[in-house]
Structure formats: C-alpha cells, structure tokens
Amino acid sequence: MFIPKRALCAAGLLALTSATAPHHLAFQVVDQRGLPMQGAVVEIARPAGDSRPVAFAPRYGMAQRNIAFLPGTLLVPAGTTVAFPNLDTVRHSIYSFSKAGRFQIDLYGHDETRSHEFSVPGSIALGCHIHDQMRGYIRVTTTPYAAISDVNGMADIANLAAGTYPVTIWHPLGRGAEGEWHGMLAVAEDRATRVTIATR
C-alpha cells in the first residue's frame, strides 16, 4: 500500500511529539463534604533510581504583608534557605514549635529580611509572637514530584508518567498524624485523580 511522504512525515512528527511531550498528573483534593481544599500539598514518592533534582521555584520566600504570611503555604526542597521579608509597617517575629523545624527569629522591622534554612522533611507551622492571628506553613520535601493545590483543590505534578505510586497529602487541617494522608494511588494522565481526606 502506497503511503504519501507527507503522511509519513506527519506520523513521524506526531510520534516524536508524543514521545517528548511532558507528562502531567492531576489531582483534586477534597474534604469529607466534597469541598475543594486549597493549600494541600500532594507528594508522590520518588521512584527507585530517579535522580531528578528537587526544585519548585526560582526563589523561596515568604513575605509578611497586611499582618499575614504570603504565600500562606510554601513548598521547598530539604536544605532550602527561605527569606522572610517584612513588607508591613509594623515589626514581626517568626517562630515554630514544629518537630521538623523548631526555630525563632526575633522582632525585625519594615523592609528588613531574615532567613532560615529548613533541612528536615515535614511540615512547619509558623507564627508571630506579636500577632497571634498570623499563621503560615512550610512543607519541606525530598521528592521533585510535589505540588500545592489551588482554590479548586487542583494540584498538577509534571514529569511523571501514569502509574501506581505511594502518595502523601498534607494539609494543616488534615486529621491524620502530622496532618498527613497516605495511600497507594493508580494515577492516569487523562483525568484528575480525586482524593478525599478527613479534616479536623
């Protein structure tokens, strides 16, 4: 059967595109009422033999603005130094009593920055001694396959093909130990994997 050269070229291009197109796995995190959970961190354990570096953003910082930590949740690789610029006109301190990273930064003022290194994987809850309403969270991870859910509870993880993986989902309101949910999930690329976690 004769196949036109143009068709062969198109088929070859399609095959090349399919082979080089990045993989994306989508998750939707909801609570027991079916409501989307913003700020959940979805982590897929690194497959055996995988050596991809862990990186999520060009710079890692959590600002203090309008008496709040921004962003409210920050995802960083283990060993990252996080900057904390004070963009308010009042002074702030930062502290954490979390097992993965107890530390304290004394009061500092407007347009000043302090920093701290986070080396132990886990979740870090932040507060300010002066403003009790301020809450921030840093999730420290050793896997490059992680993402934070948006307002619709959606989290997109790139560069990993469909398969069955150990998955950890953390949220500050999670009912599990340390706010974590754990499970083995069969994940496809053509649809979002919906995960329901119990909340406090």
pLDDT band for position 13 (50/70/90)? Answer: very low
CATH of 55-142, one of 3.40.640.10, 2.60.40.420, 1.10.10.10, 3.40.50.300: 2.60.40.420
State mean pLDDT over 164-183.
Answer: 96
Question: Cα–Cα distance between 33 and 22 in angstroms, integer?
Answer: 33
Q: Are 147 and 74 in contact (CB under 8 A)?
A: no
Break the chain into its structural domains and give their ranges: 20-52+144-200, 55-142
Poorest-pLDDT segment among 4-13, 16-25, 184-193: 4-13
What pLDDT is stored for residue 57 in this prediction?
A: 83
What pLDDT is stored for residue 21 in this prediction?
A: 59
Domains 20-52+144-200 and 55-142 share a fold: yes
| CA distance to 64, 94, 106, 107, per residue, from 110 (Å) | 9, 14, 14, 10
Q: Are 37 and 31 in contact (CB under 8 A)?
A: yes
Exposure string of 38-63, with b = 16+ CB inside 10 Å and e = fewer, is bbbbbbbebeeeeeeebeeeeebebb
- Specify the CATH superfamily of domain 20-52+144-200: Immunoglobulins (2.60.40.10)
Q: Give the model confidence (pLDDT) of 87-108 as tens digits.
A: 999 999 999 999 999 999 999 9
Of 93, 56, 51, the residue nearest 78 (C-alpha): 56
